[in-house]
C-alpha cells in the first residue's frame, strides 16, 4: 500500500551525530516537526533551530516552500535564520581580521537564501555593509601592504553579500548615499584591482542605474566611458560583459537629449573598434550573456535613429531643402544656377522638375512632400545624402541608368530609398526596447561607425540590381521590395562577420536563386486540392499526428535546460526538466551551469507525476508572468512562458530558451494530457510530412520493393584515379 501523499521520507543530518531517517507529516506545523527532531537529539530551545537543504543551495525550509520537499531529500538541522543573522551581524563586526573574514565568507553564501536575507536586513544589515565599504576601506588602508590578499577577500565577500541581499528586491536602491556610490565607483576607476571586487562593483553600478533614476544621475557623474574602456581591453570575458552591461544601462537610462551626446562620446573613445578587436574578434567563443549585451548595445545604437525616423520634413525649411538640391547637384553635376537675367523662373522650375523626376521622387514639383511620412521621415533623406556623398560613383550610375530607361522600367531612386529605409528599420526593429532574452547581435554592425548608412548603401544597390533582374515596371514596385526583403533577411541569418561578407552573401542570392528557393519551398508545401487527394490526406493525417506526438514525447524524455530569469540577468541559474521513459513522471532539478548533453534522471531530485497535472497554461495566464517585475512587460518573454498547474495552487514555471523548444514542450505536455497539439511547429510539421507522404504514395512504385532498412554503404574504392579535377 503506497504511503499517504502528505508523508515525506527524508534524512536529517546534525553535526557530530548519525543522520536520522524519519517521516515528515506535511500537515503538521513546521515548528512541531523541528521540535520532534530536536527532541530526538536532546536539543533544548527548538525555536532556535531550523531545517535546510543539505545540498549546495543550503536554502532554509519554510512554511512557504516546504511542499518542495520530496521523498529521499537530505535535510540538515541548523540554527534558525534569525539566530544565524544575529550571530553573523555580530561576527562581521569582530576586531579579529580572521574572524571577520570567515564571517563575511559565510554571509556571502547565506545571503542567497531569501529567508536569511530578510532576517539580516531586519537587523539593518545592509546599512552595516555599506558603512563597512565606505569607512572600512580607509581603516584597513594601512594593512593593505602587509595583508593585501586578506583585504581583497574581505572586500570581495562584503560586496558579494551586498549584491545577493539586494537581488531579493527587499530594499529599495534609492536609500544609498553618495559616499557609497563614490566608493563603488572608485573600485571601477582603479587600474589595478582584484577581479572579483571589480566584477561585483560593476554589477552594483549597473543595478543602481537600472533601478533608480536618482542613482543614475549620481553614477553618471562618477563614472565616465573613458574609465570603463580599459576593462574592455583585458582578456576576462566576464569583466568585459559587466562593463558593456554598465555602458548599456547608462545608455538606456540617459534622458533623450543626452543619448546622442553619449553616443558621440562612445564614438570618440572608439568603443566600437575596441569591442570589435577585444571581444568579437578575440580568439575565444562569445558566451550567451556577452551575446545578449552586444545585442542590447546594437539595439540602443540603432534606436538613436528613431528621432530622425519619426521627424517629418518641413517643406519650408531651407536647410532641409538644400539637402535635396545637393542630391540633384551630385547626380547631374549641374552648373551654377542661372541668374534671373539669363533665364526665367519658369525655366528653372521646369529644369528642377525634370531632374527630380529622374531622381525618382513621387512629387516632382516639391520632393520635400515625399518625406512627410513617418517612418522613415528624415532618416531616408539622410541615407540618400550619405550614399550620394560616400558612394558617389554608384549613386550617379544608379540615377543616370534609370533616367535613361523607358519610364515604365525605371527604378525610382527616391521612392525606393524611402521604402527601403522603412523596411530596414522594421528588420532591425528601430525604436523598440531590447528583449530580455535575445542574443541576436550582428558582428558586421560593429565593423563601421556608420553601419546603418553602409547597410542602406549595400541594400539600395541590391534593390537596383534586383529590379533589373526582374525586368520590373512601376507596377511591380511592391513585388521587388518583397524580394529584396527576403534577400536581406536570408543574408542576415548567416551572421556575416563584415559588411563585405554581407555584400558577397547578397551576390549569391540573386532573383533567380530566390525563385529557386521559393519553388523548392512551394513544392515542399504544395497543397493538392483535388477530392481524392483530400480524402487521402484525411486518411493518413492521424498516422502523421501520432508520429509527431511520439517525436514530441521523445524530446521531452531527452529533456531541456531552462534558465531562471531574475533581476540581474547575468547571474544565470539553470534547471533541467525531462520526462521519464515510461511517460509517467517529470524529473526536474537545479543545475550549477548549463549542461553539455543530457542530464541523468538520478541527478534530478524533484519529481512531478504526470497524473497530478491539472492544466498547462501559456503567456499572460502563467503565474510567473502575473508577478510584478520587468518580465511582465516583455512581449518576447511572454511568448516563451508556460506553466504546469498541479495539486492546489502549485505550479512549475518555465521560460523556454527559444520558440522551437516552447512548441516542443507545450505540444508534448498537451499530448500527455490527451489534448490537441496546437503549436505553429506542429502545423508546419504536419504540412511537410503530409506532403511528403502523399508524394511518396503517388509515385509509380508498382513492382518496386522498398527495403525496410537503408542499403549498406559501399566500400571505398582501391584508388581514386577516376576523379577529374575541373579546376
Mind listing the pLDDT tens digit for each residue in 329-345?
Answer: 999 874 445 444 445 77
Average pLDDT of the segment spanning 106-120:
93
- Would you call 337 helix, strand, or coil by DSSP? coil
pLDDT for 630 equals 41
Of 295-304, 352-361, 427-436, 715-724, give the lowest mean pLDDT range: 715-724
* 403 grid coordinates: 533616367
Q: Is the pLDDT of residue 73 over 90?
A: no
Please answer whether residues 208 and 181 qualify as being in contact, where contact means their C-beta atoms are separated by less than 8 angstroms: yes
CATH 3.40.50.300 describes domain 7-79:
no
Q: Return d(Cα 70, Cα 66) in angstroms, integer.
A: 9
The dotted CATH code for 541-683 is 2.30.29.30
Residue 699 backbone phi and psi in degrees, to 5: -65, 150
pLDDT of residue 77: 94
Is the pLDDT confidence value at 569 over 80?
Answer: no
> Residues spanned by CATH 1.25.10.10 within the chain?
131-305
Domain 131-305: state its class.
mainly alpha
- Cα separation, 170 vs 123, in Å, equals 13
- Mean pLDDT is lowest, of 5-14, 313-322, 347-356, 717-726, for 717-726
Beta bridge partners of 83: none
Helix (H) or strand (E) holding 722: none
184-205: b or e for each residue (b if 16 or more CB lie within 10 Å)? bbebbbeeebbeebbbbbbbbb
pLDDT exceeds 60 at position 280: yes
pLDDT of res. 146: 46
Report residue 133 CA to chain centroid gap. Answer: 33
List the one residue out of 348, 414, 428 whose CA is nearest residue 383: 414
Between CA 463 and CA 398 the distance in angstroms is 10
Res. 723 pLDDT band, cuts 50 70 90: low
Q: What is the mean pLDDT of the chain?
A: 86
Q: How far apart are CA 61 and CA 73, in angstroms?
A: 12
pLDDT attached to residue 553:
94
This prediction's pTM: 0.76
In this structure, what C-alpha cell is assigned to residue 126?
A: 545592509
Strands of 59-202, DSSP E: 73-79
| Mean pLDDT comparison of 253-257, 333-337, 384-388, 537-541, highest-scoring range | 384-388
Three-state SS at 42: coil
pLDDT for the residue 140: 47
> pLDDT tens digits for 411-424?
999 999 999 999 99
Residue 307 is predicted with a pLDDT of: 93
Contact 246, 206 (CB under 8 A): yes
pLDDT of 193 reads: 81
Summarize pLDDT for 57-69 with one digit per residue, the tens: 778 999 888 887 8
DSSP state, residue 597: S
Q: Which of the 8 DSSP states describes residue 60?
A: B
pLDDT at 627: 60
Q: Name residue, grid cell 531622381.
A: 359
**d(C-alpha 359, C-alpha 388), whole Å:** 12
Q: How many CA atoms lie within 13 A of 3 on its CB side?
A: 10
The reported pLDDT for the residue numbered 149 is: 55
Range(s) within the chain of domains with CATH label 3.10.20.90? 7-79
Cα gap 495→446, rounded to integer Å: 12
**Percent of the chain scoring above 90 in pLDDT:** 51
Q: List, for residues 466-487, the tens digit of each pLDDT value.
A: 999 999 998 999 999 999 999 9
**What is the per-residue pLDDT for 632?**
42
Q: What is the pLDDT of residue 487?
A: 96
User: All 3 cell numbers of residue 305?
Assistant: 535613429
Taking the CA atoms of the chain, what radius of gyration do you get in angstroms? 33
Q: What percent of the chain has pLDDT over 70?
A: 90
Residue 671, exposed/middle/buried by CB under 10 A (0-12, 13-18, 19+)?
A: buried
pLDDT higher than 50, residue 72: yes
pLDDT value for 607: 87
The segment(s) of the chain belonging to CATH 2.30.29.30 are 541-683
Amino acid at each position: 500500500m503506497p504511503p499517504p501523499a502528505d508523508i515525506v521520507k527524508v534524512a536529517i543530518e546534525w553535526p557530530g551525530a548519525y543522520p536520522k531517517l524519519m517521516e515528515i507529516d506535511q500537515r503538521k506545523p513546521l515548528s512541531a516537526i523541528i521540535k520532534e527532531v530536536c527532541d530526538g537529539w536532546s536539543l533544548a530551545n527548538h525555536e532556535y533551530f531550523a531545517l535546510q537543504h543539505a545540498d549546495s543551495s543550503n536554502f532554509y525550509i519554510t512554511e512557504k516552500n516546504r511542499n518542495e520537499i520530496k521523498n529521499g531529500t537530505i535535510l540538515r538541522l541548523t540554527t534558525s535564520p534569525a539566530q544565524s543573522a544575529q550571530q553573523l551581524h555580530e561576527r562581521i563586526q569582530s576586531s579579529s581580521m580572521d574572524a571577520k573574514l570567515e564571517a563575511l565568507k559565510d554571509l556571502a553564501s547565506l545571503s542567497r537564501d531569501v529567508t536569511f536575507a530578510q532576517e539580516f536586513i531586519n537587523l539593518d544589515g545592509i546599512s552595516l555593509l555599506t558603512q563597512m565599504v565606505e569607512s572600512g576601506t580607509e581603516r584597513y588602508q594601512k594593512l593593505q601592504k602587509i595583508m593585501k590578499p586578506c583585504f581583497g577577500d574581505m572586500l570581495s565577500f562584503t560586496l558579494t553579500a551586498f549584491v545577493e541581499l539586494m537581488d531579493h528586491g527587499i530594499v529599495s536602491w534609492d536609500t544609498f548615499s553618495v559616499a557609497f556610490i563614490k566608493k563603488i565607483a572608485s573600485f571601477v576607476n582603479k587600474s589595478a584591482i582584484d577581479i572579483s571586487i571589480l566584477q561585483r562593483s560593476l554589477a552594483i553600478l549597473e543595478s543602481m542605474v537600472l533601478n533608480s533614476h536618482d542613482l543614475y544621475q549620481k553614477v553618471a557623474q562618477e563614472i565616465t566611458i573613458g574609465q570603463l574602456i580599459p576593462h574592455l581591453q583585458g582578456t576576462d570575458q566576464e569583466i568585459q560583459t559587466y562593463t558593456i552591461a554598465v555602458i548599456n544601462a547608462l545608455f538606456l537610462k540617459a534622458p533623450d537629449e543626452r543619448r546622442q551626446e553619449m553616443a558621440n562620446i562612445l564614438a570618440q573613445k572608439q568603443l566600437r573598434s575596441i569591442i570589435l578587436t577585444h571581444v568579437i574578434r578575440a580568439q575565444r567563443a562569445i558566451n550567451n550573456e556577452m551575446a545578449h549585451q552586444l545585442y542590447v548595445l546594437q539595439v540602443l545604437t540603432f534606436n538613436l535613429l528613431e528621432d530622425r525616423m519619426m521627424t517629418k520634413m518641413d517643406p519650408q525649411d531651407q536647410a532641409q531643402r538644400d539637402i535635396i538640391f545637393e542630391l540633384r547637384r551630385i547626380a547631374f553635376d549641374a552648373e551654377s544656377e542661372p541668374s534671373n537675367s539669363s533665364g526665367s523662373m519658369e525655366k528653372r522650375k521646369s529644369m528642377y522638375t525634370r531632374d527630380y523626376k529622374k531622381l525618382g521622387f513621387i512629387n516632382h514639383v516639391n520632393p520635400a512632400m515625399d518625406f512627410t511620412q513617418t517612418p522613415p521621415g528624415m532618416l531616408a533623406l539622410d541615407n540618400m545624402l550619405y550614399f550620394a556623398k560616400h558612394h558617389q560613383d554608384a549613386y550617379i550610375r544608379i540615377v543616370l541608368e534609370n533616367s535613361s530607361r523607358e519610364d515604365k522600367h525605371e527604378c525610382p531612386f527616391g521612392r525606393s530609398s524611402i521604402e527601403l529605409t522603412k523596411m530596414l528599420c522594421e528588420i532591425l526593429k528601430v525604436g523598440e526596447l531590447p528583449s530580455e532574452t535575445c542574443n541576436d547581435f550582428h558582428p558586421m554592425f560593429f565593423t563601421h561607425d556608420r553601419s546603418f548608412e553602409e547597410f542602406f548603401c549595400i541594400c539600395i544597390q541590391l534593390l537596383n540590381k534586383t529590379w533589373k533582374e526582374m525586368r520590373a515596371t512601376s507596377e511591380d514596385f511592391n513585388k521587388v521590395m518583397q524580394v529584396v526583403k527576403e534577400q536581406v533577411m536570408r543574408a542576415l541569418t548567416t551572421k556575416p562577420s563584415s559588411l563585405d561578407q554581407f555584400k558577397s552573401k547578397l551576390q549569391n542570392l540573386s532573383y533567380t536563386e530566390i525563385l529557386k528557393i521559393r519553388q523548392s519551398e512551394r513544392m515542399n508545401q504544395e497543397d493538392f486540392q483535388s477530392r481524392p487527394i483530400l480524402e487521402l490526406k484525411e486518411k493518413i493525417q492521424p498516422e502523421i499526428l501520432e508520429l509527431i506526438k511520439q517525436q514530441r514525447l521523445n524530446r521531452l524524455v531527452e529533456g531541456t535546460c531552462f534558465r531562471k530569469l531574475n533581476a540581474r540577468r547575468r547571474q544565470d541559474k539553470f534547471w533541467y526538466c525531462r520526462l521519464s521513459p515510461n511517460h509517467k513522471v517529470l524529473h526536474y532539478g537545479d543545475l550549477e551551469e548549463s549542461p553539455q548533453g543530457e542530464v541523468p534522471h538520478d541527478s534530478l531530485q524533484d519529481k512531478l507525476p504526470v497524473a497530478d497535472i491539472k492544466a498547462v497554461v501559456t503567456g499572460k495566464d502563467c503565474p510567473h508572468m502575473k508577478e510584478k517585475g520587468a518580465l511582465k512587460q516583455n512581449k518576447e518573454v511572454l511568448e516563451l512562458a508556460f506553466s504546469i498547474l498541479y495539486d492546489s495552487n502549485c505550479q512549475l514555471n518555465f521560460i523556454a530558451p527559444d520558440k522551437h523548444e516552447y512548441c516542443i514542450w507545450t505540444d508534448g505536455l498537451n499530448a500527455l494530457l490527451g489534448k490537441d497539439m496546437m503549436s505553429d511547429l506542429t502545423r508546419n510539421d504536419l504540412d511537410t510530412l503530409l506532403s511528403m507522404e502523399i508524394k511518396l504514395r503517388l509515385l509509380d512504385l508498382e513492382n518496386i520493393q522498398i527495403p525496410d532498412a537503408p542499403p549498406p554503404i559501399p566500400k571505398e574504392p582501391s584508388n581514386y584515379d577516376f576523379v577529374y579535377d575541373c579546376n
